[in-house]
Chains A and B, each alone.
Chain A
């Protein structure tokens, strides 16, 4: 089943905040939204997860029980332990104890958090907390996984572990949408949407965008931004 946005726009104070975004999210595939601060990544994710309705266009997403999300602030309870956070999330999704322990244990192992089960989330490093948030989002095997900058401020090892978790979720059949500020992460996706001031700047597979790897994505984005600025100035 495919989810995603079709010509979705959001207005703010009379002007477009997010303009005409079409982003199909297919089961088993990872899509990445890239952009600088204020580019509209979070708004795109909120539309995709049904947290916000588009002012124009349409959004298609599964019912809430089938969505897994890690939003801007990792939604883990600092005053609960890793295990207690997991118990809360499992309860919310009505998972049995066996499902929680089986699936949860496996995910914690993958995330490198198996030894931290009894630690308070407040005592975890920023990267560990991000990983815990992703583990919680994956606990109920969602059909749609939405992650808002899961790797921002995370060390390279944890970053690799997070991407392994994301890849695994897609392999299990989830449609995954990840927002990131890192262009190199875009190359891990099947589909890339680059946003600039709320408007799509580039969109396609990394292979097509980089001309089969002959050009760097970074250079392509910079060139596209320059071209758009020039268009605006000429207009």
Chain B
């Protein structure tokens, strides 16, 4: 090893790195962003526990609740069935039924950390009835974490696999060839998505199967609802990978960006750390992440047997995300990778030759 040869190589690497400014920016700022985001996200303590109170004296009981229990719903007409429905929908962590005195105190065990906090608060309150924990009576971790992990696995596989798709075509020169072939941007993107969608679905079946067989995670809800949520979620994660691919200049950059988008989902999706324990600003970031919504669907279906109506918001949110990432990808592919396509369409008559005059 000669010092001069090492310096020659080092110099070359620096010169190449200097020209790849996006990678440098990612390398420098990514750790900083992650540290700040993760630092705020890391916390298990839920200080405000969302609560619903039902029954004739609901108003009085809601006023007398310990400060940690925040009454979001107070309904004098509701009963046990309404309380269970409220928990199943995932809107609240605690639901109380009052008739003369507190008859039932139900806790949603699928919201693990909020439920654990609720148990402590309610014990201190010395209520006349013992709280009943639904969906995860032992407040065990695997039933709550594993459904979300299934989503995380799919997010990693999906986003990283597809993030190389378009940029690889561009680097190998085949993208230019596609530009002279009768492909529309949507054909290229859809064609790249379908194989990974199928692989992702196989992955999902394996992961959920293992969750049930190995970790005893129950599957209480509707399979079609879960499958729909999973497909839409997969479309978003794969679409995100494709979008990353369209904005990256090389495969290394695409991989970095894919990791930058996927890693924060581990901590910010509510899969491990509850969204209720995060600062408000960070919660909004969480809502931009597809895994946040899939965790709600997976836990909702598998543990709480949530219905289509209960999970309408996560499904719509994922649908909108799918639409946004695909629209952006199509715009990018049209503008940057198939540069003549958009402009040509304006001057071309269907099935007619093209004459462009400028």
Contact = CB atoms under 8 A, between A and B. Distances in A.
Chain A, interface residues (CB within 8 Å), range: 35 or more
Nearest to A52: B340
Interface in A85-132: 89, 92-93
Contacts, number: 84
A56 B358 contact: yes
B339 interface: yes
Given A50-B344, A72-B176, A61 B353 contact: yes
Given A50-B344, A51-B340, A75 B176 contact: yes
A63 B179 contact: no
A50 B358 contact: no
A62 B351 CA distance: 9
Contacts of A218: none
Interface in A49-97: 49-67, 69-78, 89, 92-93
A90 B290 CA distance: 37
Interface string B74-104: 0000000000000000000000000000000
B356 A58 contact: yes
A58 B356 CA distance: 5
A1 B356 contact: no
Contact of A75 (B173, B339, B340, B344): B173
Q: Is the interface of A mostly helix, strand, loop or mixed?
A: loop
A73 B176 contact: yes
A67 B340 CA distance: 14
A77 B353 contact: no
B174 A62 contact: no
B172 A73 contact: yes
A1 B353 contact: yes
Nearest to B341: A64
A48 to B, nearest CB: 11
Contact of A64 (B172, B173, B182): B182
A76 B172 CA distance: 9
A53 B348 CA distance: 13
A72 B172 CA distance: 11
B344 A52 contact: no
Interface residues of B, number: 24
A27 B59 CA distance: 87
Given A49-B180, A60-B354, A72 B340 contact: no
A54 B358 contact: yes
Nearest to A89: B181
A69 B358 CA distance: 24
Contacts of A52: 339-340
Contacts of A55: 358
B173 A62 contact: no
A222 B148 CA distance: 71
A52 B344 CA distance: 9
A69 B348 contact: no
A71 B177 contact: yes
A71 B173 contact: yes
Interface string A19-51: 000000000000000000000000000000111
A55 B356 CA distance: 10
Given A50-B344, A71-B176, A63 B358 contact: no
Q: Report the 7 A-B pairs with minimum CB-CB distance, sorted nearest first.
A: A75-B177, A73-B173, A58-B357, A69-B180, A65-B182, A60-B355, A64-B182
15 contacts: A49-B180, A50-B344, A51-B176, A54-B358, A58-B356, A59-B355, A60-B353, A60-B355, A63-B351, A66-B353, A71-B173, A72-B173, A75-B177, A92-B181, A92-B182
